[in-house]
Homo-oligomer: A and B are copies of this chain.
Amino acid sequence: MTLVVASKDNIPTTAERILDAAEDLFAQKGYSATSLGDVADRVGIRSPSLYNHFRNKEALYASVLERLLVEFSKPLLEMQQSSELSQERILQWLDTIVRQHHANPNLARLLQHAALSGGPHTNEIIERLFSPMFQSPDEEELEGDYFGQLSRQGLQPWAVMAFNNLVMSYVTMAPMYRDLLGQDPFSEEALEQQLALVNTLLKAVFAYRGD
């Protein structure tokens, strides 16, 4: 796996510009529908020049993935080690991932492509993104009553998945939102409404008792 170090001045290296272009294209069209010619065109070079920076198409894809996984894992890991699990923490976690995916929709899109079509790195993405969520920081049990009625039904992991999917499908389904709500899904107002929605939803689940 090629490791691309971030250039500390604000002028990006060619490798970074390739990663940027490839990330957008892989996220939009998926692995096989993205051609190296497309990537090269965006960067402004010829496709064989890509091989000066990445061994081949698959290595480029792996690098794109690696950069995204690092970017997305960082704040969640920090949050996980900072304090005890609680309903406030879960609300905060939800707020964080909504903002993260809003700021960069590409990881959600890439993961969605991988989940739909398979591909060699699918399991790795799933493991690195989601298994941290299914174990508490210091080996404690996570079978508390955090999700109210849902926990009592044994649906706590299902609820975690559901809220994740809610957040990710917002960005993977963005064109639908644009069409049906008549609003840019990546505007600031839309972010606020999405935050209000998931927040209210989660609080409703916390508050709900009995059938």
Contacts and interface: CB of A to CB of B under 8 A. Distances in A.
Contacts of A177: 161
A109 B113 CA distance: 10
Contacts of A154: 193
Interface residues of A, number: 57
6 contacts: A112-B172, A130-B176, A155-B193, A161-B176, A166-B166, A204-B205
Contacts of A30: 29-30, 33, 116-117
A138 interface: no
Interface in A154-210: 154-155, 157-159, 161-162, 165-166, 168-170, 172-177, 179-181, 193-194, 196-197, 200-201, 203-205, 207-208
Interface string A122-149: 1100110011001000000000000011
Contacts of A161: 173, 176-177, 180-181
Interface of A: 27-30, 32-33, 109, 112-113, 115-118, 122-123, 126-127, 130-131, 134, 148-150, 153-155, 157-159, 161-162, 165-166, 168-170, 172-177, 179-181, 193-194, 196-197, 200-201, 203-205, 207-208, 211
